[in-house]
Amino acid sequence: MKLNSMWRIVVAVAVICASGTTAFAAGRVFTSDVVIIGAGGAGMAAAVSAAQSGAKVTVLEKLPVIGGHTIISGGSVNAPDPERQAKAGIKDSPDLFFEQTLKAGDYRNDPAVVRVLADNATNMLKWFESLGLKWDDRVFEAWGGLYPRSHNSGAAAAGKDYIRVLNDNAKKLGVTIKTNTKVVDLLRDGNEGRVYGVKAQNKSGGTDTYLAKAVIIASGGFTANIPMRMKYNPRLNEKFRTTANPQGKALDGSTGDGIIMAKKIGADDVGMDYIQLIPFSGGRVIDYVGGDIFVNFDGKRFVNEGGRRDAIADAILSQRGQKMWVITDDQSIKGASLKTKLEKGIVFKADTVEEMARKMEVNPAVLQQTLDRYNQYAKDKKDPDFGKTTFTQTVDKAPYYFGIETADVHFTCGGLRISPKTEVIDLDGKAIPGLFAAGEVTGGIHGTNRAGGNSLAAIFVFGRIAGVNAAQLK
């Protein structure tokens, strides 16, 4: 074990236990070089990179399974990719990625952190390849991504592939992963000292101690914490579901635990009121721009389907019933949800526009006119009505697939303030010794609005960096 000043940690633990101020005196004590809170995409990327750097790593996950939001994602990952993009005639660079990410977030992002994302995204793709992942050759514009630099593994639910590859490599590298283990407190040596471990509830209900030279928080955002999200956006009450739990019948672990714990020991936060909503649980069955059309209950378009996610969400919420119809056709590349949505009657199928209009209860002539107008724009690659610029196809080949959509709470752009090295920053602007963070638990990367495909790119880039830096801490 390579813990810095181990005697200080042991003494500190003994003093705390003796004081009676904690519940872990009767629990077990474990030691690692690095402890990671959360086994989603960021946490697993951090675990693999820390282990590759020679550290003894323990990952603590409060849910019964690993994967977090990553495992249920469509899997769009943004990165400049000279080889694949060149084949498609797409010009890209880290500088362009940097500028577009800042612009998408209304320049409320931290430029130094965004620079790290832009400069390390391409190597992140190669790192995954070294772990055994095969990227599909297709490069596309993720929905809300604003530029064609998105990648996935080719699977309809590519997030599963990323977690599978990370988990396989974590096992090979000897990483310890404990599920049903909820971290409840960070351990810090005084108000200005080092973070040296965590307290966590075990499967039996007891509280154990995990000592380490570094802790990485990768516990996700707070989309599922209704009081917390309403604190920053009062309209996001219990009527709004999350995209990780659209039917309200599952368990969404993104309850802001890591942010709350870190703030208790002096951490700063940033951008907490930037909470993203997207249409997800209803009629939308593709994850890229250019293959579907959004219409209101009058059968008319009302928004640029390839625009910013926040602009689309606001447009949906301004429609009658705060809902819309999403229409695609036989030509588009459908996601993994199509079969289930058809079976549950969330998405419908029609062989003609007239049949579709009848099921939608809109005027067939109006809907046909809307589609004809849109399809001409798709052919011209120009949309004078709403400014859409990305078209992959017309929407005119039966059968048609369509369903009602609303806006679900999807992503919290705000969170813990971090340095470019993923160190957690305190209220005085200083790095908290021994504490790192990566993933949706952090803020400052996306500004006011996260571009589609940037989340997974960021959690993998910064998860990898956090793992390396935590492992190298002396």
Phi, psi (degrees; rounded to nearest 5) at 247: -95, -5
Give the H/E segment covering residue 328.
strand 324-328
State the DSSP string of 410-445: EEE--EEEB-TT-EEEBTTS-EEEEEEE-STTEESS
Structure tokens at 297: 């209950």
Q: Is 307 helix (H, G, I), strand (E, B) or coil?
A: coil
Neighbouring CB atoms inside 10 A of 63's CB total 17
Alpha-carbon distance of 131 to 18, in angstroms, equals: 45
Residue of 144, 164, 169 whose CA lies nearest to 153: 164
Token look-up 């971290």 returns: 183
DSSP state, residue 451 = P
- Would residue 108 show up in a list of annotated catalytic residues for this protein? no
Element (H, E) at 134: none
Burial of 278 (0-12, 13-18, 19+ CB in 10 A): buried
Q: 54: buried, middle or exposed (CB in 10 Å: 19+, 13-18, 0-12)?
A: exposed
Contact 222, 232 (CB under 8 A): no
Question: Can you name the residues that pair with 411 across neighbouring β-strands?
Answer: 276
Q: Which of 149, 229, 309, 417 is catalytic?
A: 309
Q: Beta strands of 182-287 (E only): which ranges?
A: 182-188, 195-201, 207-211, 214-217, 269-270, 275-278
152 by DSSP, 3-state: which? coil
The DSSP call for residue 71 is G
CA distance 86 to 407: 35
303 neighbors 294 (Cβ within 8 angstroms): yes
- Residues facing 199 on adjacent strands: 185, 209
Q: Quick one: tokens of 178?
A: 């404990």
User: What are the catalytic residues?
Assistant: 309
